[in-house]
Amino acid sequence: MEWMRLELSIEDNLNKQKSIPDISNVGLDVTAEIMHNNFLTSIPHLDEIKISHMSMMSEISDAIEKDKISSRENRSLDLFLKDIGGILDDSKIKVPLATEFPTEIIVETCKNENENLVRILSPEIFGGMIETFEIGKNKKISSGRWVNNYLELYLE
């Protein structure tokens, strides 16, 4: 499965936007294991302990990641909109998405064998949101924009 990024237009007063430190470099795809590795690489001593620790953490992290992936199911568009308080108006998906960093919002699409998937990543200083949902097999997102604390995605 290869995700394709959708370019969003931002239609709001961006002069109010604050800078978010290094979120584009690390992103929401970073795992706890990667962050832990970054922390441990800054320790200049205790190499043997670091190697042992890294091996143990890798085994634990791999097991947890496999369990997380197997437990996730993609939601339908209707269920996603119900859960998040969004609406479908003709061919426009409207998702409430208040953020101080609209230029950091990422919308990606992916074709699966049975469905077309949409993934929204919206980082914030202390966390963020990752949502994945299904749209119909014969539908696709043609464009998107963020305006007045709403993410609008247009279906074809």
User: 89 and 135: one domain?
Assistant: yes
pLDDT of residue 72: 62
pLDDT tens per residue across span 79-135? 999 989 999 998 999 999 988 888 889 999 988 777 899 999 888 776 777 888 999
User: 88 and 128: one domain?
Assistant: yes
Where are any strands of DSSP class E within the chain?
4-6, 8-11, 75-76, 87-89, 92-96, 106-111, 116-124, 127-135, 141-147, 150-155
Residue 50 CA, distance from chain mean position = 31
User: 56 and 43: one domain?
Assistant: yes
125 in a domain, yes or no? yes
Domain that holds residue 127: 4-12+74-155
54, 70, 86 - which closes a domain = 70
User: 97 and 118: one domain?
Assistant: yes
pLDDT tens per residue across span 57-86? 888 877 776 666 555 677 889 999 998 999
What's the pLDDT band for 55 if we cut at 50, 70, 90? Answer: confident
Total structural domains within the chain: 2
User: 36 and 106: one domain?
Assistant: no
H helix or E strand, kind and range, residue 61: helix 47-71
